[in-house]
């Protein structure tokens, strides 16, 4: 037996035989390492501020003008502005997380992730945090400018609950994004089509520009499965309390509990699925092949 | 003899290119690029998923607007329903036209890394990109047709084939689609200069144009300077002309009380000839601008080495 012979291990992390402290430190470094190119990329190519921050505001404005053309109550304009802000996070989840492992495979980086002694969730968390900066900026601009330009008035009484719902929505969304990342990787080239499919249809089912309760059973189904639908509805109820348009859905407290359940479910599902694809990648050696 | 830089005769290359770049070669290059584009888009996807994807996106976009209308009007406003369905159906052409060419640049440069080889092939880059974009354009057409059909069959859009103005429809579609392609060329020129992460730019631009052109609401609700911008865009006249051809009684997106058009002309609804002439004039303007922009962008990309540069972030 030579010094190169090593016992079989379940993962590169196990093979590294690091202390828990070193594992944690390495994973934290991975989070930062994966967030870094996204953050630095923002500074290197300023065109994104125009295309990804200012133009989406104009898209949101189009829906505001639809309601204005219909002489809708001012509350609906607030709905559109809030919905427009939340799309930033959804797009980030679908494109910058869901489809990202697939892009990484295309770029030839995926096999490096599978062979390094880090948890794949650290890489995805790094992507999430890196992308979150741009998304927060975009959402903030839509919310702030929309509020000022279109005179939206919020009547928030429960700030703490609103903040909790927002954070829970983001964690559930990013957990969902991690699940999508594994699925998109398995579905290969169709990932691009699936990512497209998860935009307008999900906006419709989540009631992005109108109260989701108006969709009846479809809306109820969306509230029980889509973090965007339940989070958006809870935030609307808290931001525009007493509005007739929020009638017909569970209370914000119940929706917050739903979001907690979704967060746990999606994070556990993501962990299971990432482990599964990691195992598949090592055993079958196909997942990391470019052009599969 | 050792080869030198001087041995490479750029003028000779240009002459060879122009000799071989006749209509037949151009057509062959376009056809090949279009076939490749279709295969990239459709052949590698599951057919059911591909069809669902082609149709679900524009349909969901139209449904969002129809539900918004229902929420506010409570099922009244039939004429506005037709207005919204036509606007959102045509919009799938705009998204497809804008993203088709731009995505071809990004795909071929960043993913397949073939743009440099395409660039040095005898067919012009613009023709190859147009070919690659044709597949997406066709998908946009499928989405538009299905959205209109669903609108008429299930969403209560009052469509009467007897009153349809077919010549106006054909002429406006021909001109309007040319305008969309010209805007697509402009956008391909833009992404030749930007980084890999520009994947989302075409949809962002299409979303912004959605505000300007009266696709889903009359221009009269916009501030006057924004209306003026809308009136110099071919898409505004295209959407209005198609709407006029399909639903002559629909609300005008261009004229009406509070609109810049009515203030300038005193007319409350532009007739079909005005729509066509304005569409022709703005399309010619945008096409000339697109050709110029693409030429400048291509030259700059060549000078700065952007054609074979990948910019992964």
pLDDT surpassing 60 at residue A105: yes
- The answer for B 65-94 residues in CB contact with A (under 8 A) is 65, 67-73, 77, 80, 84
Residue of B81, B271, B156 lying closest to A69 (CA atoms): B81
User: Is residue A288 very low, low, confident or very high in pLDDT (cuts 50, 70, 90)?
Assistant: low
Tell whether B44 is within 8 A of chain A (Cβ): yes
pLDDT of the residue at B297: 95
Taking CB atoms and an 8 Å cutoff, what residues of chain B touch A184?
Answer: none
User: How much is the pLDDT for B313?
Assistant: 46
Sign of CA dihedral B193, B198, B199, B201: negative
Chain B residues touching residue A69 (CB < 8 angstroms): 217-218, 221
The fraction of chain B above a pLDDT of 90, given in percent, is: 48
pLDDT range class, residue A100, cuts 50, 70, 90:
confident
Q: Quick one: what percent of chain B has pLDDT higher than 70?
A: 90
B113 touches chain A (CB under 8 A): no
| Residue written as token pair 């903040």 | A163
Note whether A59 contacts B: Cβ–Cβ < 8 A: yes
> ipTM of this predicted complex?
0.85
Is it the case that residue A277 has pLDDT exceeding 60?
Answer: yes
Q: Is the minimum CB–CB distance between B112 and chain A shorter than 8 Å?
A: no
B167 touches A at CB < 8 Å: no
Q: What is the mean pLDDT of residues A134-145?
A: 91
Contact check, Cβ <8 Å, A70/B80: yes
Q: Please give the pLDDT value at position A48.
A: 77
Buried b (16+ CB within 10 A) or exposed e, A277-292: bbebbbeeeebbeeee
pLDDT band at B45 (very low <50, low <70, confident <90, very high): low
Residues in chain B with CB shorter than 8 Å from the CB of A199 are 57
SS3 per residue for chain B: CCCCHHHCCHHHHHHHHHHHCCHHHHHHHHHHHHHHHHHHHHHCCCHHHHHHHHHHHHHHHHHHHHHHHHHHHCCCCHHHHHHHHHHHHHHHHHHHHHHHHHHHHHHHHHHCCCHHHHHCCCCCHHHHHHHHHHHHHHHHHHHHHHHHHHHHHHCCCCCCHHHCCHHHHHHHHHHHHHHHHHHHHHHHHHHHHCCHHHHHHHHHHHHHHHHHCCCCCCHHHCCHHHHHHHHCCHHHHHHHHHHHHHCCCCCCCCCCCCCHHHHHHCCCCCCHHHHHHHHHHHHHHHHHHHHHHHHHHHHHHHHHCCCCCCCCC
A·B CB contacts under 8 A: 131
Nearest chain A residue (CA) to B207: A59
pLDDT at B85: 92
Residue B79 is predicted with a pLDDT of 74
Over 60: is that where the pLDDT of A267 sits? yes
Which of A48, A107, A200 is closest, CB to CB, to B60? Answer: A200
CB-nearest partner of A52 from B49, B73, B200 = B200
- pLDDT beyond 70 at B3: no
What would the pLDDT profile of A158-192 be if each residue is shown by its tens digit? 999 999 999 999 999 999 999 998 888 877 666 77
CA dihedral (A257, A258, A259, A262) in degrees, to 10, reads 130
Of A82-86, B30-34, B185-189, B194-198, the least confident:
B194-198
Q: Do B207 and A203 touch (CB under 8 A)?
A: no
pTM of the model: 0.85
Contact B88, B65 (CB under 8 A): yes
Look up residue A260 and give its two tokens: 């907690």
| B191-to-A255, B298, B303 alpha-carbon distances in Å | 42, 11, 16
**Residue A171 to residues A265, B253, B280, Cα–Cα distance (Å):** 11, 42, 51
**Cα of A128 to nearest chain B Cα, Å:** 14
Where are the domains positioned within chain A?
A: 18-284
Mutate to test the interface with B, among A66, A126, A199, A246 (most CBs of B within 10 A): A66
| Residue A22 C-alpha, separation from nearest chain B C-alpha, in angstroms | 28
Which residues of B are less than 8 Å from A91 in CB distance? 200
Is it the case that residue A234 has pLDDT exceeding 90? yes
Contact list, A214 vs chain B (CB under 8 Å): 67, 70-71
Question: Touching check for B107 and chain A: CB below 8 Å?
Answer: no
Interchain contact, B207 vs A56, CB within 8 Å: yes
Among residues B313, B312, B311, which one has the least CA distance to residue A37?
B313
Instruction: Output the average pLDDT for chain B.
Output: 86
Higher pLDDT, A169 or A102: A169
Q: How far is B14 from chain A (nearest CA, A)?
A: 33
Q: Looking at the predicted structure, is the pLDDT value of residue A145 above 50?
A: yes
Angle in degrees, CA A13, A28, A113, rounded to 5: 45
Of B227, B195, B211, the closest CA to residue A56 belongs to B211
Does the structure show a pLDDT above 80 at B131? yes
Say whether pLDDT at B25 is over 50.
yes
Contact criterion met (CB < 8 Å) for A210 and B67: yes
CA distance A124 to A111: 15
Instruction: Look at residue A3 in the predicted model and tell me its pLDDT.
Output: 64
CA-nearest residue to A44 within chain B is B195
Q: Do A69 and B218 touch (CB under 8 A)?
A: yes
Mean pLDDT across chain A = 86
């Amino acid at each position: 037996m030579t010094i190169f012979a090593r016992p079989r291990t379940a993962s590169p992390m196990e093979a590294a035989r690091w202390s828990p402290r070193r594992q944690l430190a390495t994973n934290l470094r991975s989070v930062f390492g994966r967030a870094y190119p996204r953050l630095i990329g923002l500074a290197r190519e300023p065109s994104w501020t125009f295309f990804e921050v200012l133009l989406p505001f104009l898209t949101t404005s189009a829906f505001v003008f639809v309601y204005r053309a219909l002489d809708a109550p001012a509350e609906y304009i607030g709905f559109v502005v809030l919905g427009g802000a939340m799309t930033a996070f959804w797009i980030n989840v679908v494109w910058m997380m869901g489809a990202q492992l697939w892009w990484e495979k295309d770029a030839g980086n995926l096999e490096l992730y599978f062979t390094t002694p880090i948890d794949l969730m650290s890489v995805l968390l790094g992507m999430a945090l890196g992308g979150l900066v741009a998304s927060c900026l975009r959402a903030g601009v839509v919310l702030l400018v929309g509020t000022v330009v279109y005179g939206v008035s919020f009547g928030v009484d429960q700030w703490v609950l609103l903040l909790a719902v927002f954070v829970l929505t983001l964690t559930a969304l990013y957990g969902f994004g991690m699940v999508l990342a594994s699925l998109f990787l398995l579905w290969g080239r169709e990932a691009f089509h699936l990512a497209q499919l998860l935009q307008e249809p999900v906006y419709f089912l989540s009631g992005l520009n109108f109260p989701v309760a108006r969709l009846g059973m479809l809306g109820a189904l969306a509230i029980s499965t889509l973090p965007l639908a339940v989070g958006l509805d809870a935030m609307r109820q808290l931001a525009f309390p007493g509005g007739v348009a929020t009638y017909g859905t569970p209370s914000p407290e119940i929706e917050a509990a739903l979001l907690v359940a979704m967060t746990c479910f999606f994070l556990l599902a993501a962990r299971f699925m990432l482990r599964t694809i990691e195992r598949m990648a090592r055993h079958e050696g196909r997942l990391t092949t470019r052009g599969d | 003899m050792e080869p030198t830089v001087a041995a490479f005769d750029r003028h000779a290359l240009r002459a060879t290119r122009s000799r071989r770049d006749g209509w037949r070669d151009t057509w062959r290059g376009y056809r090949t690029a279009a076939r490749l584009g279709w295969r990239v888009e459709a052949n590698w996807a599951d057919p059911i998923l591909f069809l669902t994807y082609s149709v679900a996106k524009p349909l969901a976009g139209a449904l969002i607007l129809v539900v918004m209308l229902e929420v506010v009007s409570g099922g009244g406003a039939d004429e506005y329903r037709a207005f919204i369905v036509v606007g959102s159906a045509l919009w799938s052409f705009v998204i497809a036209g804008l993203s088709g060419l731009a995505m071809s640049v990004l795909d071929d440069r960043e993913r397949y890394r073939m743009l440099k080889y395409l660039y040095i092939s005898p067919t012009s880059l613009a023709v190859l990109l147009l070919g690659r974009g044709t597949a997406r354009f066709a998908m946009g057409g499928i989405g538009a047709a299905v959205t209109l059909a669903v609108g008429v069959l299930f969403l209560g859009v009052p469509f009467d084939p007897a009153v349809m103005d077919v010549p106006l429809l054909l002429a406006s579609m021909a001109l309007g689609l040319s305008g969309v392609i010209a805007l697509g060329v402009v956008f391909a020129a833009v992404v030749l200069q930007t980084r890999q992460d520009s994947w989302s730019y075409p949809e962002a631009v299409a979303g912004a144009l959605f505000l300007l052109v009266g696709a889903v609401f009359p221009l009269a609700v916009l501030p006057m300077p924004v209306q003026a911008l809308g009136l110099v865009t071919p898409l505004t006249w295209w959407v209005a002309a198609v709407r006029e051809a399909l639903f002559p009684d629909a609300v005008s997106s261009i004229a009406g009380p509070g609109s810049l058009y009515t203030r300038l002309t005193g007319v409350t609804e532009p007739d079909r000839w005005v729509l066509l002439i304005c569409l022709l004039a703005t399309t010619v303007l945008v096409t000339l601008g697109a050709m110029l922009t693409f030429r400048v962008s291509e030259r700059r990309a060549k000078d700065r080495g952007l054609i074979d540069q990948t910019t992964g972030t």
